[in-house]
Amino acid sequence: MSSLRLVALVSIASLLFSAATALAQIPTPAHISKDDFEKMMTDLSNWGRWGKDDQLGTVNLITVLQTQQTLLIAENTLAQVRLTKLLAASSLFQALGGGWTPDGKLSSLQPQPQP
């Protein structure tokens, strides 16, 4: 076996050992009983934290921002659809023989009399 292959095999073995060691150190999730879960839900809940009037809950700012972002995306999509529609109509107009004259005026679809 050549020395290059031996170095490669040692490097790969070292890498695999390092990965196995790192994976072994990752903690596994502990089993949580139903009582512990309900206690955590009660202790960590914000329900009623700001008085009696917050019983309906609150909408956080992230929800508002996500809604505004969704609206912006929808409006942008609508603008793109309208642009595509106008470009298609313009292409159809030109394909049917319409177009613009060299002086920048819109030409008519009606045949022009020949001088």
| Residue given tokens 């994976």 in the structure block | 23
CA 20 to chain centre: 34
Q: What is the pLDDT of residue 109?
A: 53
What are the residue ranges spanned by the domains of the chain? Answer: 58-96
DSSP-derived 3-state class of residue 22: helix
Q: How far apart are CA 70 and CA 76, in angstroms?
A: 10
Contact between 77 and 85 under an 8 Å Cβ cutoff? The reply is no
pLDDT (tens digit, 9 = 90+) per residue, 44-62?
777 766 666 665 555 677 7
Contact between 65 and 74 under an 8 Å Cβ cutoff? The reply is no
**Predicted structure pTM score:** 0.39
| Higher-pLDDT residue of 107, 21 | 21
Q: How far apart are CA 30 and CA 40, in angstroms?
A: 14
